[in-house]
Amino acid sequence: MSIAELTSIDFITPDGVPESVTSWVTEIAALTMPDHIVWCDGSQAEVDAFTHMMVASGTLTRLNAEYRPYSFLARSDPKDVARVESRTFICSEDPDDAGPTNNWCDPAEMRSTLDPLFLGSMRGRTMYVVPFSMGPLGSPLSRLGVQVTDSPYVACSMGIMTRMGSQALSLIGEDTKWVRAIHSVGAPLQAGQADVPWPSNDTKYISHFPETREIWSFGSAYGGNAILAKKAFALRIASVMAREEGWLAEHMLIIKITNPRGRVFHVAAAFPSACGKTNLAMLQSTIPGWTVETIGDDIAWMGRGTDGRLRAINPEAGFFGVAPGTGWKSNPTAMNTIWGNTIFTNVALRDDGDIWWEGMSDAVPRHLIDWEGKDWTPESGRPAAHPNSRFTVAAKQCPSISDDWEDPKGVVIDAIIFGGRRATNVPLVVEARDWEHGVYMGATISSERTAAAEGTVGELRRDPFAMMPFVGYNMADHWAHWLKIGAGLRTSGSVPRIFQVNWFRKGSDGSFLWPGFGENSRVLEWILERVDGQVAAKDSPIGLLPLEGALNVDGLDVSEDDLAELFAIDKDQWRGEADSTEEFFATFGERVPAAVHKQLALLREKLG
């Protein structure tokens, strides 16, 4: 498809498109008034046309092919650089269904607000119709959607992040349930008006309508605000679908681990931001005989298979990773994934035409063009790359990608891990006694604030199941749904074991007690040896801990004192944490499941 063809297609619908899709696209076009409509087919020719067009318009800069073949740099508007949680709404019919952790708005009121904003919002632009599948094409665990957008950057990103195009569209029949996603940058063009490289609008709304499975996004072209298959569909809307249909849509990575005896395990793990999630998803084991492979780095959809076991897919087809902090020391697998065919957003540009960001390498370039297009040197006193700068790349490029990552049946989950960033209190690893205790662990995930600018140092920032910004309904109902899923799994006799980890505990001198990164494979070893019935554990007030000598620390520079501190339990501090947890639960009122309250009471009883 050529650039000329892209701008000459006017309201021509491909053959065989179901009426439910064509009538909806026609309805949205009548509202937004685009000059042209393009139905995306997902072909490489289409991608080439999109990228050429965006290079010509200044939206993308082509990187030096010698260093980064077929890769591009985008610079956003400086006011459009991250998810805007304050402008993200759950528009459920009943405000209690949204709960206290979401911004709620009455659906009718939100529609009356959005309709005038979207009226004519695509005038002078092209509407791209993006059909997509979340998950492998045809998998019983996958779900379908169609996004319309007036941003070629978003259309191109959707092609990386989902199974997008004609094949996905062909799976939508007249009776198929599919998610409707409407996106506009909110910057209509008048006749003869010059465009800008990154159009956006100061007014922003990312609104979700759970009952009708719709997403309406206005004003932003960035990340999860605009690539609506990601957090908006894959978590907020999908979590509601999952509750209705009896499965789970979770903010979790998925990895495959093989032990020296040849047994294969699959692990799902939930971590809030800044807790090493991507590093774990692409872990390089330091233990001989143990291998770790990647299935997903961000989202897991999990449901009971025909064999009664919990199975999971990664619904995404790409990685939308945070660039700063990703480097050859912290995550060499990620670095080897982004060798080419990658879109970078808001990173710095080197003089040789390659990219750079803080943490990418020990050596810092003497001169860069920063994420705002300004000259930068180490003396500039500001980051060269935006702290939320990103790379968008196909998952199939990852050298550690597992051969079963697109298994349509999903992979059997043997263990579930929750983690947070805790300088104190929480041990390196602890096992839940049962599923109900594991749900309590997930409900109480938190990280300690580390700087006064973020709040009181040591204050807990709650992030249940790492889903605080992403669950599409009442958080307490989410815990109840997990309990229901566990009860169903028990009937088949196969329930994954649940664990909590904390790589970030510090000693009295403020230094980390655990080396982290690849050495986290030692903690995974203990977890999976527990699953395999190879090692015992000892009880404690907060769960099951490794016996002395059970955790493999051979060759590590971790003293006996540090090891003891990694598992120390201060009962007074835990009593205080129990009080804080009770206050947190109170914000959800009577919707907190009795089983979760029971686990809190049991913790207090064991603390004495």
Cα dihedral across residues 89, 93, 98, 103: positive or negative: positive
CATH of the domain at 131: 3.40.449.10
In a domain, 452, yes or no: yes
User: Is 428 found in the same domain as 380?
Assistant: no
- pLDDT bin (cut points 50, 70, 90) of residue 457 is low
Q: Are residues 339 and 414 in the same domain?
A: no
CATH number at 361 reads 2.170.8.10
For CA atoms 179, 185, 191, 195, give the dihedral sign: negative
- Which domain CATH number covers 459? 3.90.228.20
Residues 341 and 195 in one domain: no
Structural domain contains residue 66: no
pLDDT(452) > 90: no
Tally of residues, the chain: 608
| pLDDT value of position 272 | 86
pLDDT digits (tens, 9 = 90+) for 114-157: 999 999 999 999 999 999 999 999 999 999 999 999 999 999 99
Mark whether 382 and 514 lie in a shared domain: no
Q: Kindly state whether residues 558 and 600 are assigned to the same domain.
A: yes
Q: Answer yes or no: is 199 within a domain.
A: yes
Q: Quick one: pLDDT at residue 456?
A: 56
Average pLDDT over residues 291-305: 97
Q: Is residue 64 part of a domain?
A: no
Mean of pLDDT over the chain:
94
**Are residues 239 and 331 part of one domain?**
no
Domain boundary among 225, 246, 267: 246
Q: Which of 246, 273, 303 is the last residue of a domain?
A: 246
Report which of 335, 333, 312, 311 is spatially closest to residue 323, judged by C-alpha positions: 335
pLDDT tens-digit series, residues 563-582? 999 999 999 999 999 999 99
Question: Per the structure, how many domains does the chain have?
Answer: 3
Instruction: Confirm whether 275 is a catalytic residue.
Output: yes
**Domain contains 72:** no
Place of tokens 């937004």: 32
Tell me how far apart the alpha carbons of residues 113 and 9 are, in angstroms, rounded to a whole number.
Answer: 31
Over 50: is that where the pLDDT of 3 sits?
A: no
Residue 135 lies in a domain: yes
SS3 content of the chain, % helix, strand, coil (to 5): 30, 20, 45
Report whether 339 contacts 415 (CB < 8 A): no
pLDDT at residue 9 tops 90: no
pLDDT tens digits for range 202-235 = 999 999 999 999 999 999 999 999 999 999 999 9
Q: What's residue 10's pLDDT?
A: 55
Note whether 584 and 479 are same-domain residues: yes
- Sign, CA torsion 273/468/565/526: negative
Q: What is the pLDDT of residue 172?
A: 96
Per-residue pLDDT, averaged over 295-318, amounts to: 96
For the chain, percent of residues with pLDDT exceeding 90: 91
What does the alpha-carbon distance between residue 413 and residue 314 come to, in Å, rounded to a whole number?
12
φ and ψ of 181, to 5 deg: -125, 120
Q: Quote the tokens at residue 501.
A: 């980890």
**What are the backbone angles phi and psi of residue 391, rounded to the nearest 5°?**
-125, 140
Q: State yes or no: pLDDT of 438 exceeds 60.
A: yes
Owning domain of residue 9:
3-57+84-246
Same domain, 281 and 338: no
With respect to residue 448, please indicate whether it lies within any of the assigned structural domains.
yes
Question: In this predicted structure, which of 294-298, 426-430, 450-454, 491-495 has the lowest mean pLDDT?
Answer: 450-454
**Torsion of Cα atoms, 286 then 288 then 292 then 293, to 10°:** 120
User: Residues 15, 33: one domain?
Assistant: yes
Q: Is residue 67 part of a domain?
A: no
Residue 463: the pLDDT is: 95
Residues 485 and 526 in one domain: yes
Do 233 and 295 share a structural domain? no
Supply the pLDDT for residue 453.
34
Same domain, 529 and 388: no
Q: At what angle do helices 571-586 and 594-607 cross, to 10 degrees?
A: 160
Residue 56 has pLDDT above 50, yes or no: yes
Q: Which of 40, 91, 275, 398 is catalytic?
A: 275
Among residues 397, 412, 442, the one where a domain terminates is 397
